[in-house]
């Protein structure tokens, strides 16, 4: 018992030492400490990791006396005043504080520090860098996130290959999972869904195709409520909301710039984008929709009688192969489903677009991945752009300001899936 207490105290001291050394940007000592200690320790009182500490120190130090006693350590914490941020003027051993922090962060990341651990205020290190306006440090965190997520996505692919060939042992998979689960709090997976959910920040991408399909099937069987300006599912998740109208408007303008085109929309929802598509008098307007309640609404609202409209009742996973069989090609395609993860979107653009989009055609998707946190949105924006490029697409991004929303708009919605000022609108075409 006494031994246990002594051991715990030892671990505590080491944690505090690592955090303090990171906040002092003392590379030499940190290197020594990381030989036996972890780069992902957390202060038990604040939840700060060494990455949080290294970034936060750029603010607190310039405030001089504002160096705050934090938790059981002397780790400086931001005091909320961005004017206090050291923008490079304060020198540490001949280099600016920010440069020193950047080196410290790189050392920590090389030693396995995790980009999306959250502190007790639910902030990642990147959130702190963003709040302090430290772009250089923020970019380091975004790049770390991109590397981690690309790796996780690749591991997912390998895991699936192994599963397909039944060569991966269950123990191995379990060990990998446990390994991820041992980590401290991260941005939770449920926090990152727009319409489709991303697997961002999951300990390991264990949401297999089967699990994802199950979630989508569950949603498709769920009761929907059509309220003024929104659709909610059984659990009060926002399936679609009217504040997205400007996004749909601009998307329609970019994808369908003139009348008489052949258009495919996947996911009808409130019919906002389909209404804009109709206004262009498309020569052909196909819609894939899978939820029976949405289909019933479409019937009631006369969508089945609209000019040149063909409705495919079912999941896109089942309908797309049928459309492809006919060899029909579209000038514009939009993809916006619900209760599917990033992998579903990636599968769609990696495997299906090639058989659906005409040369010179354009396609887009609702870009809501990670949209409740700026760093997640930025990380996933880069991940998706790289995956799009690998799949053979050039993407043009247009940033549009989202209308200001008051809390009333989100009342009764289980989770606010959009928290950002700007929406990055993607328009993709085949690499020329």
Residue numbers of the site for ligand SAM (CB under 6 A)? 195, 216, 239-240, 248, 266-273, 288-291, 294, 315-316, 336-338, 340
| Residue placing its CB nearer to ligand SAM in the complex, 130 or 270 | 270
CA distances from 419 to 373, 376, 401 (A): 7, 11, 12
CA distance 212 to 403: 31
Q: By Cβ distance, which residue is nearest to ligand SAM?
A: 269
| Residue placing its CB nearer to ligand SAM in the complex, 205 or 267 | 267
Question: Shortest distance, CB of residue 284 to ligand SAM, whole angstroms?
Answer: 18
| Residue placing its CB nearer to ligand SAM in the complex, 62 or 212 | 212
CA distance 237 to 245: 18
Question: Shortest distance, CB of residue 276 to ligand SAM, whole angstroms?
Answer: 8
CA distances from 416 to 30, 97, 313, 373, 412 (A): 39, 36, 29, 11, 10
Question: Shortest distance, CB of residue 198 to ligand SAM, whole angstroms?
Answer: 15
| Residue placing its CB nearer to ligand SAM in the complex, 11 or 214 | 214
| Residue placing its CB nearer to ligand SAM in the complex, 62 or 198 | 198
Question: Shortest distance, CB of residue 172 to ligand SAM, whole angstroms?
Answer: 31
Q: Is 390 helix (H, G, I), strand (E, B) or coil?
A: helix
| Residue placing its CB nearer to ligand SAM in the complex, 70 or 291 | 291
| 3-state secondary structure string across 122-152 | CCCHHHHHHHCCCHHHHHHHHHHHHHHHHHH
| Cα 303–Cα 309–Cα 314 angle in degrees, nearest 5 | 75
Question: Shortest distance, CB of residue 322 to ligand SAM, whole angstroms?
Answer: 13
- Residues with Cβ within 8 Å of 209's Cβ and at least 6 positions away in sequence, in order, are 160, 343
Question: Shortest distance, CB of residue 213 to ligand SAM, whole angstroms?
Answer: 9
Could you count the other beta carbons within 10 Å of the beta carbon of residue 344? Answer: 21
HSE-CB at 338 with a 13 A cutoff on CA atoms is 24
State which H helix or E strand residue 51 sits in: helix 50-60
């Amino acid at each position: 018992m006494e031994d246990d207490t002594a051991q715990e105290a030892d671990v505590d001291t080491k944690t505090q030492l690592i955090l303090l050394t990171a906040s002092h940007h003392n590379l030499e000592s940190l290197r020594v400490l990381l030989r036996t200690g972890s780069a992902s320790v957390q202060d038990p009182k604040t939840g700060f990791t060494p990455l949080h500490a290294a970034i936060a120190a750029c603010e607190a130090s310039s405030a001089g006396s504002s160096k705050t006693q934090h938790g059981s350590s002397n780790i400086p914490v931001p005091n909320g005043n961005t004017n206090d941020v050291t923008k490079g003027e304060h020198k540490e051993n001949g280099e600016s504080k920010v440069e020193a922090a950047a080196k410290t962060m790189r050392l920590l990341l090389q030693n396995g520090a995790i980009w999306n651990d959250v502190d007790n205020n639910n902030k990642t290190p990147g959130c702190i860098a963003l709040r302090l306006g430290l772009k250089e440090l923020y970019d380091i965190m975004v790049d770390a996130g991109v590397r981690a997520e690309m790796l996780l996505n690749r591991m997912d692919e390998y895991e699936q290959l192994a599963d397909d060939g039944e060569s991966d042992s269950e123990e191995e998979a379990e060990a990998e999972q446990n390994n991820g689960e041992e980590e401290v709090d991260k941005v939770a997976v449920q926090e990152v869904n727009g319409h489709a959910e991303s697997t961002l920040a999951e300990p390991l991408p264990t949401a297999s195709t089967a699990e994802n399909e199950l979630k989508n099937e569950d949603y498709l069987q769920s009761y929907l409520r059509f309220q003024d300006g929104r659709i909610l599912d059984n659990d009060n998740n926002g399936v679609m909301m009217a504040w997205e109208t400007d996004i749909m408007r601009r998307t329609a303008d970019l994808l369908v710039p003139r009348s008489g085109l052949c258009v495919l929309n996947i996911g009808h929802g409130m019919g906002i984008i389909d209404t804009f598509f109709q206004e262009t008098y498309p020569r052909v307007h196909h819609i894939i929709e899978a939820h029976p309640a949405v289909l019933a609404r479409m019937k009631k609202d006369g969508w089945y009688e609209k000019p040149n409209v063909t409705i495919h009742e079912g999941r896109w996973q089942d309908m797309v192969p049928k459309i492809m069989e006919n060899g029909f090609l579209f000038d514009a395609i939009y993809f916006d489903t619900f209760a599917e993860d990033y992998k579903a979107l990636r599968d769609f653009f990696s495997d299906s677009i090639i058989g659906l989009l005409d040369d010179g055609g354009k396609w887009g998707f609702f870009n809501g991945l990670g949209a409740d946190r700026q760093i997640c949105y930025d990380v996933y924006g880069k991940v998706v752009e790289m995956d799009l490029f690998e799949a053979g697409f050039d993407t043009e991004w247009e940033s549009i300001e989202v209308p200001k929303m008051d809390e009333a708009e989100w009342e009764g919605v289980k989770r606010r899936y959009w928290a950002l000022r700007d929406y990055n609108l993607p328009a993709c075409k085949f690499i020329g």
